[in-house]
Every structure is written in structure tokens, then in C-alpha cells.
Amino acid sequence: MFTLPNVFAALVTLIPFLSAAFFGDTLRKKIQTLPIAIRLLLPSSLCLPYLLVTLAASSFHWDWFALYALLPAAIALLLQQARQIDTKQTGNWRDYLALLTLGLAVDLRWFEPAWPPYLAVFNKMILLNAGIYGFQFIRELNDVGFDLRLRLGDLRIGLREWAYYTPIAIALGLGLGFLHFHAHWPRLMQLAGAYLFTYFFIAVPEELFFRGWLQNLLERRFSRTPSLLLASALFGLSHFNKRAIHFNWRYVLLAAIAGIFYGRAWRHGRRVGASAITHTTVDTLWSIWFR
């Protein structure tokens, strides 16, 4: 698994994600200086991790390669059209089509058969990078808050919403038999590692999608509360197939309620980092003591 091609593919996947998260404004300005044709074709390079991983594993297929080369460019083209048509950024059907395509592809694991065993995480990150490029650098959607240079306010708001949600989650989760308490104290390095992994690879991608993009767009059509509730309900439904063969209504319910508090954290300062702190702390607490 930890072969040189896989490590290099991981770096190629992480660099766009982290560059957008920490140097987004600088990167956006540089991309805007490129000719439009190059801007729209540039995300096709997101197929490179697939090429590296599958050639090394002797599992390369041209159809999957074409998908990873063409889909990010198609998302960019779609959002370029949305930018031209919807200059006031009130939300366009193309925005929602892009979100629906990316969301279902990740949640239903459409493309995971393309990858060798245990390496399907590349699929999620490639599609995330395609969304970041399209919404941040082509569409230039306002008020997303995808800036992971954390502020004290992000920590304060994020932990406040976690403190509000935790008693509800524990009481409801234990009552429904979804949570099971385990008296275990992890090593500090284990706790820190779990927290950082959850923050960057679970919380930030999901918060960017459901709050920075989806809730943000919904607020342009509806008021704050309906947008919060709708985004939270969709967030809950995205967990229907987690930890169960059939529809996991307990997980859906708890995730939907959690989404309300994640959404509150995001909209306080419109900062993905704040809601990701709430999300990460909830998930880390659950994974260590209540799974």
C-alpha cells in the first residue's frame, strides 16, 4: 500500500486540496490570468493519481482514466456557464447538478471499483478537488469560507456548537441503542492522530460540500432557517448506508441533528474551519468512546 507511486499519488492529490485551503486567494488570482481554455482543461490533470496508482498495481483501465480526466473538466465547464448566466450568484441548476453528481458519486461509491483494495480514498479526494476547482476558481462562489487558517473564533464557535450538540447526541444515541459507551482512554498521540485525520479527510470535505457550497447556495433562495434545516436533512440522508446493510435511520437522524449544529457553526462567520471543528470533535468523541 505504501509504495512509492502511491505516496507520490497521495502528494499529487493533497497539494491541490491544501493549496486551496491555505492559499486560496493567491491561487485563484493566478488561475484567473490563464486563458479560459486552459482554465477549463486544467482540472483534467486530476486523473494523474489514478494513473500512478493503477499502473503500479497493474489495474489500469482506459474507461476509468477517461472518467477522471473528463469529469473534472465537465464540472468546470458547467460552473463556468453558471457563472456567466447567474452573475448575481443566486444559484443556478448547474450548481446543483454539479453538487448532485459529486455527492452521489462519493456517497454511493460509484467509482470505487476503479481502485485497488483500500485505495478508494483517492476517489473521494479527486472528486473533492474537482469541486474545489469548479466552485472556488471557476464559479468563484462567494462566502464559502474555505480557509483553513484557523482563528480563535473558529475554535470558540466550533467547540460551542459541539458542547450544545453532545448532550443531545449522547442521550438520544444511547436511548436508541446507536451509541455504546466504552471506558477507554487513548494515548495522546492516538487521540491527536485521530483528530487530525478526521479533520482533514472527513470533516473538512463534508463541511465544504454541505455548508460551504450547499447551504450557502440554498440561502440565496430561501431564508436562513429553512436552508439550515434542508442542508442538515440532506446531510443526514447521506449517512443512510453507513454501518448498515439497509437504511440506517438512527444514523440518519443523529447526523441530521448534528448537521443543524454544524450549519450553525458555519453560518456564524461563514467559515468551514469552524463547522469542521464541531464535526471533528463530535466524530472523534464518537469513534473513541461511543462507537
**CA–CA separation, 51 vs 64, rounded Å?**
10
Q: Is the pLDDT of residue 181 over 90?
A: no
Spell out the alpha helix ranges (H) of the chain: 4-32, 36-41, 48-56, 62-85, 93-107, 121-132, 152-176, 188-198, 204-207, 216-219, 224-237, 249-269, 272-285
Per-residue b/e over 210-228, b at no fewer than 16 CB within 10 Å? bbbbbbbbbbbeeeeeebb
Crossing angle for the helix pair 272-285 and 152-176, to the nearest 10 degrees: 40
Average pLDDT, the chain: 95
**CA–CA separation, 115 vs 64, rounded Å?**
9
How many of the other CB atoms lie within 10 Å of CB of 49? 26
Half-sphere exposure of 250 (CA within 13 A, CB side): 14
pLDDT reported for residue 189: 87
Look-up: residue for cell 451509541? 179
Q: What are phi and psi of 33, to 5 degrees?
A: -80, -10
How many of the other CB atoms lie within 10 Å of CB of 30? 11
Are 113 and 54 within 8 A, CB to CB? Answer: no
Inter-CA distances, 198 with 89, 287, 290, Å:
31, 10, 16
Per-residue pLDDT band for 243 (boundaries 50, 70, 90) equals low
Reading the block at residue 89, the C-alpha cell is 450568484
Are 28 and 141 within 8 A, CB to CB? Answer: no
**CA–CA separation, 214 vs 263, rounded Å?**
11
pLDDT per residue over 101-113, tens digit each? Answer: 999 999 999 999 9
pLDDT per residue over 42-66, tens digit each? Answer: 999 999 999 999 999 999 999 999 9
pLDDT per residue over 252-273, tens digit each? Answer: 999 999 999 999 999 999 999 9
Average pLDDT on 240-244 reads 78
pLDDT per residue over 108-153, tens digit each? Answer: 999 999 999 889 999 999 999 999 999 999 999 999 999 999 999 9
- Report helix, strand or coil for 61: coil
Half-sphere exposure of 138 (CA within 13 A, CB side): 31
Inter-CA distances, 158 with 145, 164, 178, 272, 282, Å:
14, 10, 24, 10, 10
